[in-house]
A and B are shown apart, each in its own frame.
Chain A
Amino acid sequence: EESLVESGGGLVQPGGSLRLSCVASGFTFSNYWMHWVRQAPGKGLVWVSRIRGDGSSTTYADSVKGRFTISRDNAKNTVYLQMNSLRAEDTAVYYCTRLLDRDMWGQGTLVTVSS
């Protein structure tokens, strides 16, 4: 059975860093672009970043460019989101997703940026 499981969320102070992980199983991970999408409490969905199957290409939303880095380790079937210089407005549930390509989503991991 295919699945995506995120981890790494938590409480962090403004200006701090956090690394999210998403472990994939049940499919050939390296064949797929992977995305991160976030959702602030009570708000809508916002696309954050994507990475190509071989890791050779990445794209970011302007709101996170220069602060967040997406990467992957295909040997570990894992995609990462390194988040630096965190701000209160980054508080959200972060979803790992195989967006629109045999679409599937993880359960999400909550990141709270607060002092």
Chain B
Amino acid sequence: DIQMTQSPSTLSASVGDSVTIPCRASQSISSSLAWYQQKPGKAPKLLIYKASTLESGVPSRFSGSGSGTEFTLTISSLQPGDFATYYCQQYNTYPLTFGQGTKLEIK
């Protein structure tokens, strides 16, 4: 199985900051990488797919980059609603696998 690693598990930032959340795959997954946002008690919400394509309706302050094994999610000008947990997911090979998540907290 392809292992997805997200580190750190928690990130602290302030409203208005820009943050970058990294994700690493244990082997090359080309650009088959998605990013999800999850808030407590809610289902995940797709933000980005194909490593850098913004899902319809997602604000442009979210962006993704990378290919192969190294990927990043960048959130510019953090808004209060952006404080949540973010998961990367590879869909290059089954079983699909998720990173363990990065919780973005208010500093």
Q: Show the binding face of A for B, using Cβ within 8 Å.
A: 35, 44-47, 50, 59, 61-62, 95, 97, 99-100, 103, 105-108
**Which residue numbers of B lie inside 8 Å of A, CB to CB?**
1, 34, 36, 38, 43-46, 49, 55, 87, 89, 91, 94-101
Asked if B43 and A105 make an inter-chain contact with CB atoms under 8 angstroms apart, the answer reads: yes
Contact between chains at A107 and B95 (CB < 8 Å): no
Asked if A62 and B87 make an inter-chain contact with CB atoms under 8 angstroms apart, the answer reads: no
Contact B44 A45 (CB under 8 A): yes
Given the interface pairs A59-B94, A61-B95, A103-B55, the reply to whether A44 lies near B46 with Cβ below 8 Å is no
Would you call B95 and A45 a contact (CB within 8 A)?
no
Q: Are A45 and B87 also in contact (CB < 8 A) when A95-B43, A103-B46, A103-B55 are?
A: yes
How far apart are the CA atoms of A59 and B95 in the complex, in Å?
A: 8
